[in-house]
Chain A
Amino acid sequence: MTMTGAAELGTIALDGARKTRGNQTRTRIRVLMLFIAAALVLIVGKLVTLGGTDTTANIEGRALDEITATRPAILDRNGIEMAVDIRVPSLYAEPNRMVDKPGAIAAILSVLPDLDENVLRERLNRDKGFVWIDRELTPAQKDDILRLGIPGLDFVTESRRFYPGGTEASHIMGMVNIDNKGTAGIEARLDRDNVALLQDLGFARDRELSPVSLSIDMRVQHALRDQLEDALSRYQAVSAAGVIIDVHTAEILAMVSLPDFDPNAPTSFSEDWLDKKNQRFNRITLGRYELGSTFKTITFAAALDSGAVKLTDSFDARFGIRFGKYLIDDFHGKHRVLQVPEIYKYSSNVGTIKMMQTLGSENYRAFLTRMGFDDPLKVELPETIVSVIPEKFSEVGAATASFGHGLSVTPLHMAQAVAALVNGGILKPATLYPRTSAEADAIGTRVVSQETSARMRYLLRLNALEGSGTHANKLADGYRVGGKTGTAEKVENGQYVADRNLNVFASAFPVDDPHYAMVILVDEPKPENQQSGVTAGWNAGEVTGRVIARVAPMLGIRPDFAATVDAALVPPELGRPVVTTDKDSTF
C-alpha cells in the first residue's frame, strides 16, 4: 500500500497491489535508462577525445614517416647495385624528460667526441620536446649510447642513400638531398615518376620498394670511365666524355662525362675544375657542341638515301669553294676529283659541300629534322638541352653545316643518329631503362632505307680501315670498328680558336652486324708524344679503340680477323674496294 502526496489533504488514494507494482517497475526502467544513457555519453565523449589526439609522431614539424621514407634500390642491367638505402640510427633528445643534463652531456661526449660541447649544451637547455643530437650514427655508437642508459635520449632510424660505385655513374644517378628527395639525375626522375607519390601515399614508408633496373652495364660503365680518365692524363685534355648505346634497342649501356662528382657527397658537384666553375655537368646530354666532321656521316646518309648521289659518283675537289669573302677548302686536301667513298675517307669539305648541294639545302635541313636533331632528348634525365640548328639554312650556312659547323647538338643526339644509320635505318630514342628490340621498333621511325644503312656501314668501316679511324681500328683489331672522326675548332667569344679543338669520334661496332654505337669526346687534347698528332684520330679515335678492346669481350662480341668480313661490306655497285695508293689519313 502506498499513499500519495494527496494524503496530507485528507484524501486518501488507495492503489491496488497490481497498480503499485506497475508504477515500481516503470520507475526502475527509467533509472536504468538513465544509467545506460550516462554510460553512452561517457563512451562517446571518450571516442571524441581519442579521435582528436594526433597519433602521428612528429619531429620538428615533420612526420616521423617522412624521415624514414625509403627509396627503391637502383640496379644495373646485370643486377649490380648502383644505389641502395642504408638504414642508420639518428640520436635525438627530449630535454623536458631529462634529469641530469650536465651528466648527460659528459656521457654523450664520451661516446661522440666530435660533437661541440657548447652547441650540445645550448640544445639540451632549450625547453623543447625534441632536439637532434647527432644524425646518421654507426650501429656501434648506437649500442654505446644505449649502454649509457640516459633517460630522455632515443633513436630514430633514418634512410640514407648510398652509391656503392661512388663517382662511377655519377651523372646517371644524380643525387638526393638530406630529406631523401631526388634533386638530379635518375633520382630526380624517379621522384617525378612515382616515388614521391608513393611516399605521399605512405607506401614507401619504412618498407622496401621493389628495385628499379637501368639499362646501364656497370662493367662497361667502369671501363669507359677508366679509359676516359686515362685520356685526360694521356692527352692532358680539359674534359672527356663518352656514351655507348645499343643500336637495336637504343638502351644506354654507359655514359660518362669527366670531370664528374661523387653522389655520396653532393657538394663535390660544385667544386672547381682547373680553376673554372660549373664544369661538372653531364656533357653527353647537357653539353651542346659543333661536332665537326662526324656530321659528314649524316650528310652522306642524307645524300645517298635521297638517291641524288650514288657511291659511284665523283665530285671535283680540286679547288676550294668561295662564298662571298669566305673560302672553304680541305684540310690536307687531295685537290683532285674524288669518288664518294674517297670524299668520306679523306674527309673532304669541298666534296661534302658539293654532295649536299646536289641534294639541296632544304632537303638537307629536312633530313636533320628527320634524324631527330631538332627533337628534345627523350632520355630519362632532367639534365637535357635542345639543339641549336638554324630554322632555315643560308647558302653558306648549309655548306658549313654539311661538315658540322654552325649547328650544335648533344653527343647523345649524335649517338642516336649513328645507331639509326647502322641498325638498318630506324631511329629510336635513347633510354636509360631496359627495353627489348621489339619495344624499341614499335616507337622507332624509319629514317633511311636498309640499303642506305648498308652503305653507311661500308663507309664507316672504310674510314676505319683506310681513313682517319685507323688508330681506333688498330687498337680494337678483330672487333670490326667503323667510325668517323671530327675535329672542331672551339668557339670562344664568338670566334673560332684554331689551337683549341674539340675532338670527336662517332663509331659503331662490330660494323658487319652492328650492336653498339659510341660517341667519344676529348676536349682540347695535346699530342701524347712528339710523333703523335692532335686530330681526333689520335685521341678520340684511340680512346674508342681501347674502350672497344676492353668492353667487346664482356659484351660477347666474337673477334673475327677474316678479310672476307670487310669485303662483304662493299656494296654491289662498287664491286671492289676503292683502290688507293696514298694512305695518309686526314681528320
Chain B
Amino acid sequence: MIRVLNIVLLVACGVGLIGVYALKYQSEGVASRRLELQTQIADQQDQLSVMRAEWAYVTQPGHIAPIVRRHAESLDLAQIRADQFISVDALPMRPAAMDPDALTALLESLDAGIDPIAALIEAN
C-alpha cells in the first residue's frame, strides 16, 4: 500500500519537475520576446516622436506661408477680400428653364434654310 503510494508520488515528482522546467524555459523565451518587443516599441516611439515633430513643423502656418508667397504668382493666389464673401441670399437665381418650343422652331427654320440669327445680324 505504502509502496504504491511512494511510486505514485515519485512519478508525480518527476512529472512536476519536467513541467516546471518546461515552464521556466518557456517563460524565459516569453521574457526575451517581451524585451525584444519593448525595445521595438521604444524605437518606434522615438521615431514617431521625430516624425510627429516633423509633421508639426511642416504644417506650421509659419512654415506654409513662405511657400504660399513663393508660388503666389504662378498659382494666382491672393488674400481673400472682404467683398468676396456674400451671403446665400445674394447669389443669383438659377437661369430660367430653356424654352423647348422656341428651340424646335429655330431648328425647323434652320432645316428649312432660313437662319433667323444671321438675319438678325445682317439687319443690324
Contact = CB atoms under 8 A, between A and B. Distances in A.
Question: Are A and B interaction partners?
Answer: yes
Interface of A: 80-81, 84-89, 139, 157, 162, 164-168, 218-219, 221-223, 225-226, 476-479, 549-550, 552-553, 558-559, 561
12 contacts: A84-B53, A85-B49, A87-B49, A87-B50, A139-B46, A164-B56, A164-B63, A165-B62, A476-B82, A549-B79, A549-B81, A552-B82
Nearest to B50: A86
Contacts of B34: none
B65 interface: yes
A559 B60 contact: no
B59 A80 contact: yes
Interface string B70-100: 0000000001111101010000000000000
B60 A553 contact: no
Nearest to B86: A559
Contacts of A166: 60, 62
B84 to A, nearest CB: 9
B13 interface: no
Contacts of B30: none
Contact of A139 (B42, B47, B56): B47
B52 to A, nearest CB: 6
Nearest to B81: A549
Interface in B27-49: 42, 45-47, 49
A222 B53 contact: no
A225 B62 CA distance: 9
A86 B53 contact: yes
B19 to A, nearest CB: 24
B85 A157 contact: no
Interface of B: 42, 45-47, 49-50, 52-53, 56-57, 59-63, 65, 79-83, 85, 87
Contacts of A84: 49, 52-53, 56
Given A86-B50, A218-B61, A558 B85 contact: yes
B118 to A, nearest CB: 45
Contacts of B52: 81, 84
Contacts of A222: 60-62, 65
Nearest to A207: B45
Contacts of A223: 61
Given A84-B49, A139-B46, A164-B56, A553 B85 contact: yes
A302 B118 CA distance: 77
A58 B46 CA distance: 22
Nearest to B42: A157
A114 B90 CA distance: 66
Given A165-B60, A168-B60, A168-B62, A86 B82 contact: no
B79 to A, nearest CB: 7
Contacts of B65: 222, 226
Contact of A549 (B42, B47, B56, B82): B82
Contact of A164 (B49, B57, B79, B87): B57
Contact of B53 (A89, A157, A164, A477): A164
B62 A479 contact: no
B64 to A, nearest CB: 9
A181 to B, nearest CB: 19
A221 B79 CA distance: 17
Nearest to A159: B49
Given A157-B46, A550-B79, A561-B83, A219 B53 contact: no
Given A84-B52, A165-B60, A219-B61, A478 B46 contact: no
Nearest to B58: A164
Given A81-B53, A87-B49, A168-B62, 14 more contacts: A80-B59, A80-B60, A80-B61, A84-B53, A85-B49, A87-B45, A87-B46, A88-B46, A157-B46, A164-B56, A222-B60, A222-B65, A476-B82, A558-B87
Contacts of A226: 65
Contact of A478 (B45, B83, B87): B83
A534 B87 CA distance: 39
A2 B63 CA distance: 102
B82 A477 contact: yes
A167 B45 CA distance: 27
A263 to B, nearest CB: 13
B47, B50, B82: most-surrounded residue (chain A CB, <10 A): B82
Nearest to A206: B42
A223 B50 CA distance: 27
A454 B21 CA distance: 85
Query: Sorted from nearest, which 8 A-B pairs have the closest CB atoms?
Result: A478-B82, A81-B56, A164-B56, A559-B82, A222-B61, A164-B57, A87-B46, A168-B62
A549 B82 CA distance: 7
Contact of A80 (B49, B53, B56, B83): B56
Contacts of B59: 80
B50 to A, nearest CB: 5
A223 B68 CA distance: 13
Nearest to A548: B82
A476 B80 CA distance: 12
A164 B45 contact: no
Contacts of B45: 87
B37 to A, nearest CB: 16
A64 to B, nearest CB: 14
Contacts of A478: 82-83, 85
A222 B68 CA distance: 14
Contacts of A167: 62
A506 to B, nearest CB: 22
A139 B45 CA distance: 12
A162 B63 CA distance: 15
A230 B65 CA distance: 14
A476 B65 CA distance: 21
A448 B56 CA distance: 43
A184 B32 CA distance: 44
A332 to B, nearest CB: 30
A218 B85 CA distance: 23
Nearest to B45: A87
A558 B89 CA distance: 14
Contacts of A550: 79
A553 B52 CA distance: 29
